Chain A
């Protein structure tokens, strides 16, 4: 499983890195930075929550 960010759509709601800090981090503005596009199996559930909580739909899950 991979995650992809549309950086232009991200507005810094901060839901993703709050819920899945192993997968997402923040830049100085509070916008999302994807730490690992390839998500480790143990972080998949958290990553999905991070993606599904984004009000801007800036993140997508890509199933391999």
Chain B
């Protein structure tokens, strides 16, 4: 019992609830009663829109690199764990590769992929949406983007899961992360050797060949970028898909809106991202003494910026207490903000838009399989399983 209690306090339970609750909006509402929630020896939680926004923008005060989060890596991940000004150098290389115009080229490929995934279960009249759609879609897009073979999917899956959600106690988790980290360096080390010997037409070769001020990236830099892609790019789209489809399965009146009018899908994606906030919190560490909403925070303090709270803060923006798939404007913070704005946001939007459109064209009506109780995961909000039933489609 004592060990369990100790584990329960390792991450503030409010932050866990924000990801795992069936109604994270209610958890957020309670948290926002105080602008800063201080949890002694752990974190200060920042709960309100205005303060979260300010902190995201002040990257020189609220540092990512100083967070010291263990993701199994031995060097800082690029660009996330690098602070400005060096951060700018990397984003200049990477931003063009993930800009909306560039990722738009992938649309036809994603459409085809969604069709292939749905065709595997359409005639059955049931699926585990998580296992059969939400996981393979972003993983396959990632592999194709980097020009890596589909057969490496299994390797990526265990690596990603052991870094993001390792089972066991603290020591076991650290051991698994380390082992997964070693596997990442070994894998990309080999791939980089191959690419240098024989360049190919894919994102990895683009990154290898890119230059900033006449200088190419080192092998280590390319590896540290690839490492981050692997853990940032796969899980978050899976989480979003799980959240979106679980909600639409239970709330047919919202689903009907986008089935009947596909032109609403772009605004629906933004609103579902806001409402569900699949990444409910992002960490920072203060580099100087600062005040948040009159509350003094010393330098060196670990801070959690609660995106999920900020996104439903209806004191800052009226009307946010309701889900409205037609909402526009919708300046949510689901992709963060400031210099660390999610690099893959435009790719994620593309995948989510295409998934909503193509899935519903084929399967417009579905519900949770009888007896299903949804269990959302802590940290990043996803589901272990999402069993759906629908009329079989031949």
Contacts and interface: CB of A to CB of B under 8 A. Distances in A.
Q: Is the interface of B mostly helix, strand, loop or mixed?
A: helix
Interface string B156-194: 000000000000000000000000000000000000000
A13 B99 CA distance: 9
Contacts, number: 59
Interface string B311-328: 000000000000000001
A31 B100 CA distance: 10
Given A11-B338, A11-B339, A26-B100, A52 B331 contact: yes
Interface string A1-37: 0000000010111110111000000101111000000
A13 B96 contact: no
A17 B337 CA distance: 17
Contacts of A11: 337-339, 341
B333 A30 contact: no
B101 to A, nearest CB: 7
B95 A30 contact: yes
Nearest to B337: A55
B345 interface: yes
A19 B337 CA distance: 19
A19 to B, nearest CB: 8
A12 B57 contact: no
B330 interface: yes
B95 A29 contact: yes
Contacts of A54: 331
Given A26-B101, A30-B346, A49 B95 contact: no
B98 interface: yes
B332 interface: yes
A56 interface: yes
A28 B339 contact: no
B92 interface: yes
Interface in B69-105: 91-92, 95-96, 98-101
Given A14-B100, A30-B98, A30-B99, A53 B92 contact: no
B40 interface: no
A12 B99 contact: yes
A13 B345 contact: yes
A29 B346 CA distance: 12
Contacts of A49: 328-329
Contacts of B62: none
A10 B260 CA distance: 35
Interface of A: 9, 11-15, 17-19, 26, 28-31, 49, 52-57
19 contacts: A9-B57, A12-B99, A13-B335, A14-B99, A14-B345, A18-B100, A26-B99, A28-B95, A30-B96, A49-B329, A52-B331, A53-B329, A53-B330, A53-B331, A55-B53, A55-B333, A55-B337, A56-B337, A56-B338
Interface of B: 53, 57, 91-92, 95-96, 98-101, 266, 328-333, 335, 337-339, 341, 345-346
